[in-house]
């Protein structure tokens, strides 16, 4: 594609950079970016621990910012890029906000609500259907999470062991 801004990979890389910020803050690294007419109108990264807010998922943060930017609670004709398949809460928020399209990287087999555990976005009873594209930069998105959890396990192990004896 000649215009990199029209490329799903381009925006997913942006979401990955936001996920890295979550990691730096000690949160599970998930990032989200809301795009309209090839412009960013919302950015979010996972931060429930730091914010003492169970709803502070990357997607919710990006949708909230998008609403402020558009001065509208309906976020029509927008695309939300997320590094990980959304949970039930975030998928529900996507329906409420009327986004047009969800693009996500890796699947979340345990809690994914865009096809893995369930499919909130294509539920026949829903009054709004969100188009889903999945698997964009899947390997990078999955590696971000597995690397994070691997590092966390190593840190916990090191803590348990305590400092190495000097002799």
Q: Is 93 in the site for Zn ion (CB under 5 A)?
A: no
Q: Is 90 in the site for Zn ion (CB under 5 A)?
A: yes
Q: Is 87 in the site for Zn ion (CB under 5 A)?
A: yes
Could you write out the DSSP letters of every residue in 60-123? Answer: HHHHHHHHHHHTSS--TT-EEEEEE---HHHHHHHHHHT-SEEEEEE--TTT-TBTTS-BGGG-
Sequence length of the chain is: 167
Give least dist CB 152 to Zn ion, A: 19
57 assigned ligand-binding residue: yes
- Using the structure block, give the residue that is written with the tokens 């709803």: 55
Q: Is 57 in the site for Zn ion (CB under 5 A)?
A: yes
Stretch that binds Zn ion, among 16-24, 36-44, 90-98, 129-137 (CB under 5 A): 90-98
- Using CB under 5 A, list all residues that contact Zn ion: 57, 87, 90
Show which residues are catalytic.
59
């Amino acid at each position: 594609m000649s215009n990199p801004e029209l490329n799903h990979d381009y925006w997913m890389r942006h979401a990955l950079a936001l996920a890295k910020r979550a990691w730096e803050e000690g949160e599970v690294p998930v990032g989200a970016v809301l795009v309209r007419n090839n412009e960013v109108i919302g950015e979010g990264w996972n931060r429930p621990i730091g914010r003492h807010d169970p709803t502070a998922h990357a997607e919710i943060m990006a949708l909230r910012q998008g609403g402020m930017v558009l001065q509208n609670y309906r976020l029509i004709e927008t695309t939300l890029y997320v590094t990980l398949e959304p949970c039930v809460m975030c998928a529900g928020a996507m329906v409420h906000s009327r986004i047009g399209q969800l693009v996500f990287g890796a699947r979340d087999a345990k809690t994914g609500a865009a096809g893995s555990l369930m499919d909130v976005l294509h539920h026949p009873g829903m009054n709004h259907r969100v188009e889903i594209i999945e698997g964009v930069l899947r390997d990078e998105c999955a590696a971000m999470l597995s690397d994070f959890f691997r590092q966390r396990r190593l840190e916990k192990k090191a803590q348990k062991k305590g400092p190495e004896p000097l002799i």
